[in-house]
A and B are shown apart, each in its own frame.
Chain A
Amino acid sequence: DTGVSQNPRHKITKRGQNVTFRCDPISEHNRLYWYRQTLGQGPEFLTYFQNEAQLEKSRLLSDRFSAERPKGSFSTLEIQRTEQGDSAMYLCASSAGTEAFFGQGTRLTVV
C-alpha cells in the first residue's frame, strides 16, 4: 500500500455534466476526508467518513454534491450539474490517528 490514491488525476467536463471522483485510502485507515482547494488557497473541508458512516458535511457541500464510502473502503465524490465555480482541486485524505495522509488530488476543470 503506497498511500492515498485518487482517480482520475485530471478531469475536464462541460458545464451541466455530472462527474465522479474516486479515493482509495490507506487500507487500515478508518477515517476518510474530502477537501476542495482552489488555486493559491488552502484546502477547505467538505465532508468526512468514519468507516462507512458520513459523520459531517460542510456547508460548502451543496445539494449537487454527494459522497459515499460503501463498506468503509474506497469513497466516491459526485458532483451533479457541474458549474464553472466547481473548478478546483479535490483532495482526499485518510487517517487512523493524529496524522492525515493526503492523495495527489483530482483537478476538475469545468468549461
Chain B
Amino acid sequence: AQTVTQSQPEMSVQEAETVTLSCTYDTSESDYYLFWYKQPPSRQMILVIRQEAYKQQNATENRFSVNFQKAAKSFSLKISDSQLGDAAMYFCAIPGGTSYGKLTFGQGTILTVHP
C-alpha cells in the first residue's frame, strides 16, 4: 500500500517571498510519478507540478519547483515569489501503478499568503 505524509497542516508566507511545503511518501513501485495538486477554496483541484521518479532532474513550472529525493522518499514543493492567488490547500499525491488518476493523497497543507 502507498502512503503519503504531509507534516505541515498550515504554512504562511509573505507575498513575494518563498515557501517550501514538505511531503514524504512510501511506495513499492520502482517507477512512478509524484504530483502536487492545489485546491483553492470552493474551487476544483488542479495539478501544479509532476515529477517522474526515474528523472533525476527536479521538475519546475514557472514559480513552482520540486526537490525530489528518491532515496529519502521526499518530494517537497517550493513556491517562489508567492502571490495572493497561491493561497489554497496543497496536496501531495502518488498514483497507483499506471492508473494515474487513482491517487493516494496526503493530508494537505493550507497555505496562507499575507499581503
Q: Please report A residues at the B interface, Cβ cutoff 8 Å.
A: 3-4, 31, 33, 40-45, 48, 55-56, 91, 93-95, 97-100, 102-105
Contacts and interface: CB of A to CB of B under 8 A. Distances in A.
Contact of B100 (A99, A102, A103): A99
Nearest to B107: A42
B47 A99 contact: yes
A111 to B, nearest CB: 21
B44 A95 contact: no
B102 A42 contact: no
B53 interface: no
A99 B36 CA distance: 11
B105 A103 contact: no
Given A41-B108, A42-B108, A100 B103 contact: yes
Interface string B81-115: 00000000001010010011111111110000000
B32 to A, nearest CB: 11
A104 B47 contact: no
Interface in B25-75: 33, 37, 42-47, 50
Which has the most chain A C-beta neighbours within 10 Å: B46, B50, B99? B99
B100 A95 contact: yes
Nearest to A58: B102
A1 B44 CA distance: 16
A42 B101 contact: no
A99 B33 CA distance: 10
B101 A93 contact: yes
A102 B44 contact: yes
B94 to A, nearest CB: 11
Nearest to A107: B42
A42 B91 contact: yes
Which 6 interchain pairs have the tightest Cβ spacing?
A42-B105, A100-B101, A95-B101, A102-B45, A33-B101, A104-B44
